[in-house]
Structure 1
Amino acid sequence: MSTTSTVTVGTLRVDDASLHYEVRGHGPLVVLVAAPMDARPFEPLADLLAADHTVLTTDPRGINRSPVDDRDRDSTPEQRADDLYRLISHLDAGPAAVLGSSGGAVSVLALAQAHPEVAHTVIAHEPPLSELVDDRAEVRARTEEIIATYQSGDPVGAFRKFLVLANIHLPEQVVQEMAGGERDAQSIADDDYQYGRMMRATTRWTPDLANLRATASRVLIGIGEKSGDQLCDRTSRALATALGTEPTMFPGGHIGFAEDPEAFAVKLRAVLNG
């Protein structure tokens, strides 16, 4: 059952961005982060965890409520990791357990490399690290096609190509609802930034495997139980193999935390207490 918790909303100014963040609950610090997704889909999970944790969520730089000074500058995993470091330090409630989803999983891996002192546990849930799979050249080329299709003025076509590459199957009605029709200015701006400044820098990032093996952070690679044969399942398994670890399975698919937050919270608590 979902709960509703008191939310403290703040903005942290960093060198080139203003980071929107939200804090719920009391107890050990847990950070939930994605990219390009903003903080809103984490709200049900954050409310559940807030019963016995302090929960930090944030919009990544350049997305929704976290504007950047220069929208022509790429959003790199290193920059987003530094943002997380600054947010956790600002709260002065760490070290934290940090869960990153999709592009946010890449952000938290970069955090573990650069600032392990602020994250005792890092869970990278389905990082889209395309450079780790055997068909990386094909994936790279198809990613460029997706970006080019979007920038040609065809957001629905770009989203369809993304779903094919990711091996995610959605009804056409859902595709149209998510990428077509009337969209507000903020949604368009977020998509522009995601396709133009975030996707390439995130998927082409290559982790420092030796660093991640040696880091003081406990690094876990999460995969959704329903994500079999999807691109992020393959990239995640490749990373786990490269690190010499077994993946940690979570309920649901790529966004299992939003699909079934209750089940996801149960699993996450078990992982954090393990």
Structure 2
Amino acid sequence: MTSPTIGHLRVDGATLHYEVRGEGPLLLLIPGGTGGAASFDGVAGHLATGYTVASYDPRGLSRSPLDDPEAEQRVERHADDAFRLLALLSPDAPARVAGCSSGAIVALHLLTTHPERIERVVAHEPPVVEVLPDAAEHRALLARVRDTFHREGLMPAAAVFAAGLRRPADAPKAAELPPELPPEAAARVQRTMADMPYFLGRIVPSFMAYTPDVDRLRALSDRLILAAGADSMGELPYRPAAFLAERFGTPLVHFPGGHTGLSTHPAEFGERLRKVLDA
């Protein structure tokens, strides 16, 4: 895979690390969780044969430091960061955008606030649980995660969170690195573990409390592709995408794997994403 061109963009309150590959119309990839730009390494090369592919570490992750480490994190500010990247990398033409998990929440807000800059959005399992009829139950989950984090620390809170998503096996098991990992992979795991307190303590509570502008999204649904993992049907992150697709009368597009299909099935995930973007 071709090495990316690395850049840094100064935004309000942070400096963003971003990576660019390929040529063609811009495709901005917005990562979820703690993976950062590296979470798209398995698909970026394939997509770069027809697109200028850009991804980045969201503000507050290891390579995109905050000016104030205690600053409140909001979906709106993260979406403005994505908008700044669009303005930098594709100033004269609208772009395609794909986001996963918390990155898909950012993509939804970006579409509602800057539709003139967006040609198409793929939102893979955005956990916008406030749109669900049982949203109160998920607020209670977030409260349990917060309380466990403060009382017992990171790993117990991560276990509570994973159980609430109905994927307890996905919770991190240990901070130690397997000795057989190659150096680049080991560095990614180290960054992931280092960023977990920020993600679980600052991103999850704010992002999962966010309520999208559903009426605005419905009006823009001709350029919105709601996606979910073929193996995660019925799990919490799957449900908002399915709910919104039904409400808008649009298809729910299934991708290989579950919520983390980008990591577990990168080749198939990238091929599916390419077909959806090119349709």
TM-score by length of 1: 0.90
Partners of 1:236 and 1:132 in 2: CA distance: 10
Name the aligned partner's letter for residue 88 of structure 2. Answer: H
Q: Choose which of 229, 234, 255 in structure 1 pairs with 2:234.
A: 229
Count, aligned residues: 267
> What's the secondary structure of 1:170's corresponding residue?
helix
Distance 1:212 1:100, change over 3 A: same
Identity %: 37
> What's the secondary structure of 2:241's corresponding residue?
helix
Which string of whole-angstrom CA distances, capped at 9 and with x for unpartnered residues, describes residues 201-248 of structure 1? 100111111111223870111101111121011122122223332211
CA RMSD across the alignment: 2.1
TM-score by length of 2: 0.89
Partners of 1:175 and 1:17 in 2: CA distance: 27
Residues 165-244 of structure 1: matches in 2 within 5 Å? 165-170=164-169, 175-177=172-174, 180-181=175-176, 187=192, 190-215=195-220, 218-244=223-249
For structure 1, which runs of at least 5 residues remain unmatched after alignment? none
Contact 2:154 2:197 in 1 (8 A): no
Aligned to 2:84: 86
Aligned to 2:20: 23
Partners of 1:47 and 1:217 in 2: CA distance: 28
Contact 1:23 1:56 in 2 (8 A): yes
Aligned to 1:66: 64
Contact 2:122 2:225 in 1 (8 A): yes
Distance 1:138 1:47, change over 3 A: same
For structure 2, which runs of at least 5 residues remain unmatched after alignment? 178-186
Partners of 2:192 and 2:90 in 1: CA distance: 32
Which string of whole-angstrom CA distances, capped at 9 and with x for unpartnered residues, describes residues 35-83 of structure 1? 3331112111111111221100100111111111122222211111110
Name the aligned partner's letter for residue 77 of structure 1. Answer: V
Distance 1:18 1:217, change over 3 A: farther
More displaced, 263-272 or 105-114?
263-272
Distance 1:187 1:265, change over 3 A: closer
